Amino acid sequence: MAATYLVTGGAGFIGSALVRRLLATEPGCHVIVLDALTYAGARANLDGVSAELVVGDIRDRALVRSLLDRSRPNLVFHLAAETHVDRSIEDGSPFIATNVAGTLDLYEAIRASRPTEIEKIVHVSTDEVLGPTPPGLRFTEDAPMCASSPYAASKAGAEALAQAFYTTYGLSITIARPTNHYGPRQLAEKLIPLVICRALLNEKLPVYGDGLHQRDWLFVDDGCDALITIARRGAPGRTYHVASGAEHTTLDVVHQVCDALDSLRPAEQSRRSLIAHVADRPGHDRRYGIDARRIEQELGWRATTRLADGMKKTVEHYLEPAVLERAKAHLARRGLAGGDGRR
């Protein structure tokens, strides 16, 4: 009998990519998406996908309970979240409401439904819960959480709840802690699509501080394959780091975006000439570095996409006219492009 998957936040960037990977790797499976369709999620992200979309909030326990009783999923992927650090600095309240309280509501609804029928719940967290990484070190899964931003703090709280529901109630929860994802369908105000759109508008490309903040960048399809691997082979109660293993500075990433654009859509001047350094944001961690050997050694997963290859696929996606127009419209509403937006 074909499996049934529930993906919370499945109309978002990573969630919609996961839905596509599930359907591609397991023909005949049934995928249900629960998404509130806030700024981070869009129906367009699921265009051409044979998944069932349920528009609703994970904080609605009655809705979630009804959905669980009706669909009886074999596996649950929990990705529904507020995810933008800059937005969390502006106002952290929605992050606590969705990421912490919403996670509690979801797991309480699961506990009240048929928890023993769910083989695995993959709780998707972030490497940001660990805070800044000292030079020469990569944090293992056993490192203590030390969040710097309201976003990271909300994800740390959600992760603590996931561990508590495993320990206290026996829910079969496994935690995935990925690094920075990039790829097609990412929210336009995130770094890479923002740089693409502003470069095509011939606007300055804002880079925080000196641009030497280091992150591990993971192509979204690799990240989704890791989540599926964790769902199928990961141990309940265990945490797995998900990373490419290659760290890059913000400036290097912006350079790669510019170079890919120059190759695919040449201009009179290199897009690198548009880079403008702006004041750093509050609490901006200098480096994140995590050790992902556990998932490789225990589950056999490792990333396969080089940054240059993933960047080319990403830029090609945003050069599609309909995609580019939607991204530009979103940025214009936020005051981040089509004017003098600086983020």
Give catalytic residue positions.
Answer: 127-128, 151
**In 3D, which of 278, 111, 144, 129 has the Cα closest to residue 198?**
278
Give the phi and the psi of residue 307 in degrees, each rounded to 5.
-55, -45
Pinpoint the alpha helices (H) of the chain.
Answer: 13-25, 61-71, 85-90, 93-95, 102-112, 150-169, 191-200, 220-233, 250-264, 293-299, 307-318, 321-334
CB contact set of 307 (below 8 Å; sequence gap of 6+) = 217, 219, 244, 246, 248, 253, 256
Sheet holding 4-8, edge to edge: 52-55, 30-35, 4-8, 75-78, 120-124, 173-178, 239-242
CB atoms within 10 A of CB 41: 24
Gap between the Cα atoms of 145 and 147, Å rounded: 6
Alpha helix positions (H), 234-302: 250-264, 293-299
